[in-house]
Amino acid sequence: MSAQPAFPPPSGPAAWNQARAAFAKSNLVDLSLNSLAQNLDVPPWPITSSDETPAAYIDLTYAEAVAALSAKGLPPTQLGALITLLNDTLAFDQPFGEMMDDLSTPVAETIDADSPLFKNLAKLELPESYPLNLTALSAGTIELCSSEKVETLGQFVAFAARLSQTVIVGGDFRELLNGLSHKDEETLAKFLPSRPGSKGLFLREALAIAVKTMTPAQRQAVLSGSGATLPELRTRVSRIISQFPNQHATLTDDCAKGSPLTHWTAGLADLSMEPVIIALLKPHLPATAAPAPAPKKSFWGRLFGGA
């Protein structure tokens, strides 16, 4: 006879068996519970390790699941939270499956023409093809979307347009969705390489997002010239530049004419990123790109210190 938990969780064996059986068919079974919780309006999952996934629990019986949670220092009531998380994730997951049933269907055909999200995307001139993994969305949100083959801004909008009104999303997924819903340009600029007051996306801001995701050690490696040891970063920068061929061509032409890169980076919100961005760009620009101009001397400096 299986040992019974000392303190029964709020949901019984029937609710657990129903939730785990339904979730066994989900593509999200190997995604961390912490990532899933971040994108729903539920309490955070208390264990953040990557191996803490639905797959770690759904093959367990009710008593075994309670025992597994207890072994990790969690109360039996945590199983009720897990049931809620699995059920809400399934409701969140269903529109992904519906949208991606036919991957050959163009994204635009999956969106209702009257969808405010689609209209706002067009009004702001945000390209549907822009990759989500080049945005500032959290790694958990990008992983969640990628696991469902939702990999571009257009596919994100297509999914969001189909999202059931009964599903309450959370985290940066909700922030980006709200930004698109309300054309909130300040919020959109937190996640996309956009500029409040301007339409479209920009190479400078896209590189700034890449720098934000770098560790201090990676930034130092780039500045010291040892960035060649960072192949993933080189690949990311190349992918970013490929998204902005016209802006890159203009920048290349300006550099060839002697314009310093500091003129191009001058509008950055955080100028501490400027030298890193310039170092990342250098391999993709003419070797003759002009260096930053020397600081101009004051009148008294010129008078007493020479030209």
Q: Could you count the other beta carbons within 10 Å of the beta carbon of residue 266?
A: 11
Q: Could you count the other beta carbons within 10 Å of the beta carbon of residue 278?
A: 21
Chain centre distance of CA 245: 23
Question: In which domain, by residue range, is 47 found?
Answer: 13-94
Backbone angles phi, psi at 55, to 5 degrees: -60, -25
Task: Say yes or no: 46 and 111 in one domain.
Answer: no
Asked, for residue 172, whether it belongs to a domain, the answer is: yes
Task: Say yes or no: 114 and 168 in one domain.
Answer: yes
Asked, for residue 6, whether it belongs to a domain, the answer is: no
- The count of domains in the chain is 3
Both tokens assigned to 124: 């702001």
| Closest to 83 (Cα-Cα) out of 174, 13, 165, 163 | 13
pLDDT at 80: 92
Task: Say yes or no: 127 and 51 in one domain.
Answer: no
Asked, for residue 108, whether it belongs to a domain, the answer is: yes
**Domain end marker among 59, 94, 129:** 94
The model's confidence at residue 102, banded by pLDDT at 50, 70 and 90, is very low
pLDDT at 1: 36
DSSP 244: -
Asked, for residue 60, whether it belongs to a domain, the answer is: yes
Contact 15, 82 (CB under 8 A): no
Cα dihedral across residues 130, 128, 183, 175: positive or negative: negative
Please, what is the average pLDDT of the chain?
Answer: 82
Task: Say yes or no: 156 and 86 in one domain.
Answer: no
Task: Say yes or no: 271 and 215 in one domain.
Answer: yes
Q: What percent of the chain has pLDDT over 70?
A: 79
Asked, for residue 82, whether it belongs to a domain, the answer is: yes
DSSP 119: H
pLDDT at 232: 86
Q: Could you count the other beta carbons within 10 Å of the beta carbon of residue 244?
A: 19
Task: Say yes or no: 80 and 115 in one domain.
Answer: no
- Lowest mean pLDDT segment, chosen from 27-36, 104-113, 123-132, 226-235: 104-113
Element (H, E) at 18: helix 13-23
**Domain end marker among 191, 214, 229:** 191
Task: Say yes or no: 183 and 216 in one domain.
Answer: no
Backbone angles phi, psi at 152, to 5 degrees: -125, 165
Asked, for residue 3, whether it belongs to a domain, the answer is: no
pLDDT digits (tens, 9 = 90+) for 247-294: 999 999 999 888 999 999 988 888 889 999 999 999 999 875 444 444
Asked, for residue 80, whether it belongs to a domain, the answer is: yes
Most confident of 21-25, 217-221, 240-244: 240-244
Contact 148, 27 (CB under 8 A): yes
Read off the pLDDT of each residue in 150-164 and give the average, rounded to a whole number.
82
Asked, for residue 99, whether it belongs to a domain, the answer is: no
The amino acid at residue 153 is: L
**Domain end marker among 74, 94, 114:** 94
Instruction: Name residue, tokens 């004051």.
Output: 298
Contact 136, 209 (CB under 8 A): yes
The model's confidence at residue 163, banded by pLDDT at 50, 70 and 90, is low
Both tokens assigned to 279: 């170092």
Residues written for the chain:
307
Contact 244, 127 (CB under 8 A): no
Cα dihedral across residues 33, 38, 42, 48: positive or negative: positive
